[in-house]
Chains A and B, each alone.
Chain A
């Protein structure tokens, strides 16, 4: 199976490394970053490209653009992992639509296009008979979408709630355990590379809300957007509030919840018993599914990181390889 990778930051590189290091029956025929691209129908020497990216900051030839790769490289699956733009979804949304309409499968780690244009993308993919997968957009390495669609196939999913943002979870863990202020914990998260220079999306709950939108639309076929989510962030929390919670055997976590029966789509800081399965430390994510037959299922794992995100992308690639490409 041939794949092209658009976006060669830490996630794109993680995917390339995993394909190179593991015998997955996958060949990379195109790679593009924001400044350059490389196309080779007989397979790209991944080691050389990774070394070039390290030393020169580009993966290929500056005359070759991401659009060239999307339009003309020979691939079965487009792996789209450019940075997220949550207002327009561009340019990723356009790359994805182009590939779909070219009759190619798409795997993406990019939340923007999936949250903004789910209905369009899934409809177009259906018309073209191709597969769009985006496991990496929600909870990083945790295979939540695969678990719901495959493992829990036949169940009615009643509710989903959990911790969808590792940055917020890290900040709250530090505030609770060591009495740091919100500002101190955020600064520390930035120094450790857990928070972006502009942490607004994380701490205001927007990142978690985007993931809820993706799940709501995927699992229940809804047509929700970020505006439908009731959002409260963690930026007004005080260390005293956490200490008061801890004194009563509780703590505070940023919880995302979807309960379609009640019409709930909400991200908010909540009081939660310390022994609750969703109370995880540091940057971990945790999600609890309630299904009619399986009852409760809790999954805990890493919500970010290059190899962790690559894990979700590789899982999607292998799904497509076995269900579509091999079968064809």
Chain B
């Protein structure tokens, strides 16, 4: 979320305190001061993890501190992983392969690029999978692994499994 706070000591702490009060976890605080700005307010971006259903309450608490919340961007699928799959992707129904992950509800394929050099040759695809948590990512990869085995596809995983 993006906040607008007064450029005064104590304001940032006041803005952040409610986050821990509602059980949230701060991942990053990006705090850029525009040297040319004559404004007495400061833009701060906060990246955080929040238990489900607490967002409205948090925004109320922050506003009570006299801080305005400029924008809230909600991102549910925080975990991201790339994989490459090789094989006869079209003949083995690529949309079904993708759907196996999408229909879980906790993970989805958010990007796919496919290269098909010739009709009788194996195709290659780069997939980005997003999931709610790292455990869910593990489950999604397990599903992909199983599907790939059934369809005789090669799955190449990243060295560091979660990014």
Contacts and interface: CB of A to CB of B under 8 A. Distances in A.
A291 interface: no
Given A238-B121, A240-B117, A268-B156, 4 more contacts: A238-B117, A244-B125, A271-B157, A272-B159
B84 to A, nearest CB: 5
A326 interface: no
A270 B154 contact: no
B159 A241 contact: no
26 contacts: A236-B122, A237-B86, A238-B86, A238-B115, A238-B117, A238-B121, A238-B122, A240-B115, A241-B84, A241-B124, A244-B84, A244-B113, A244-B124, A245-B84, A247-B126, A248-B126, A268-B157, A269-B154, A269-B156, A270-B158, A271-B84, A271-B156, A271-B157, A271-B159, A272-B158, A278-B159
Contact of A240 (B123, B154, B156, B159): B123
Contacts, number: 61
Interface in B77-131: 82-84, 86-87, 113, 115, 117, 121-126
B83 A271 contact: yes
A271 B158 contact: yes
Contacts of A161: 159
A276 interface: yes
B113 to A, nearest CB: 6
B23 to A, nearest CB: 31
User: What band does the interface of chain A fall in when counting residues whose beta carbon is under 8 Å from B?
Assistant: 20 to 34
A245 B159 contact: no
Nearest to A252: B156
A243 B82 CA distance: 14
Nearest to B125: A244
Interface of B: 82-84, 86-87, 113, 115, 117, 121-126, 154, 156-159
A174 to B, nearest CB: 17
A294 to B, nearest CB: 20
A238 B114 CA distance: 12
Contact of B157 (A236, A243, A270, A278): A270
Contacts of A243: 115
A250 interface: yes
Contacts of B159: 161, 255, 270-272, 276, 278
A271 B156 CA distance: 6
A13 to B, nearest CB: 38
A84 interface: no
Nearest to B83: A271
Contacts of A236: 86-87, 122, 154
Contacts of B84: 241, 244-245, 252, 271
A232 interface: yes
B117 A250 contact: no
A90 to B, nearest CB: 35
